[in-house]
Amino acid sequence: MTQERYARIAGWGKYVPENVLTNDDLAKSVDTSDEWITTRTGIKERRIRGENDTNSSMAVAASEPALEMAGLKATDLDLIIVATSSPDYLLPPVSSQVQDILGAKCGAFQLGAGCSGWVYALAVATQFIKSGAYNNILVVGSEIISFALDYTDRTTCVLFGDAAAAVVLTPSEEPTGVLSFELGSDGSGAEALIVPGAGSSKPLNQDVLDNRENFIRMDGKAVFRFAARTVASSLKRTIDQAGLLPDDIDLFIPHQANARIVEAGARFLRQPAEKFYLNIHKYGNTSTASVPLAFVEAMEEGRLKEGDKVAMIAFGAGLSWATVVAQVGVGDISSAHSLFSYAVKRARNRVVDGAQMAMLPLYTLFRRNKKK
């Protein structure tokens, strides 16, 4: 009998730009305040791309530590999936750039499903591994959503930020990784979250620019109703599909769209708020990067440990949604070893970098004396 295969999350990484945009910063240019934003969304600040940040460079920066943690080289990858709504170019897909920069020799494709994209990609990658088609898959969510924001519109510009995060999936014989999932879409709500211009149906021209149709427009109330009604019930079905109850989930990782939506979901599932991981106060809504960034930080903070059940929930433009129930790396010694090795190497590099910086003044003085 053929041994069933599972897709283990073997490594993870993140990248957040250095530039911080606070609520107080926004209040200087738009009619809002820190109190107004925090009360309605839970957001205090967000990260905005730096001068040298591109979608592809951010994706690579998140992918490299994920590969190192998994104990893999880029040439070991069988597939790369990059979920995004803000690629570097209309063509080529950003996945090809990521593949080239990393030095991988595998297939790569870009997946677009709005803020749900990375969870979609995680489910797709899992099926490739479970079927035996591929072994090692890099799944990235990378977003520079700030380029599509109208900073005169307080209903949207206060919500979003830029970031990237990635995981590496590898096969396992243990029941781990994605245990169940549901992907959904309701195109009747497309106009609730849309960039109406600059696409093929309404190409970029002066009218589009004058009407500011090249920026995100959102009906926040419609999105809230959709999330509260559709997404919470989808999550319950996904938990049922895994043979679990909501009480069995150790941590919920929701799309970081709005803290108030998360609170409504917790009430629907009758779960304590502390079981829902939030980092929205630091990053805002990073769209496709939202869920993987939260997952990575939950792992870094020790909120998840080996064997824990985690539910990931995403929703966004489409309108679309995706829910996943997964188990964190069961019984894989190599995973723990690679994680330890990665942590030691990063710590060693920080020490070396610090020593080099400390020696820089002496080196400069030596060079000057040598020239004399």
Any idea which residues carry the catalytic annotation?
115, 255, 285
Measured between alpha carbons, how far is 142 from 60 in angstroms, rounded to an integer? 9
Residue 159's H or E segment, with its range, is none
The alpha-helical segments, DSSP class H, found in the chain are 23-27, 34-41, 55-70, 94-102, 117-131, 154-157, 206-210, 220-226, 232-241, 259-269, 280-283, 290-300, 333-371
Which class for 56: exposed (0-12), middle (13-18), buried (19 or more C-beta within 10 A)?
buried
User: Which of 295, 352, 285, 12 shows the shortest CA–CA distance to 149?
Assistant: 285
DSSP letter for 54, please: -
* Token pair listed for 91: 């063509």
Q: How many residues are listed for the chain in this entry? A: 372
Which residues sit opposite 218 in a β-bridge? 193
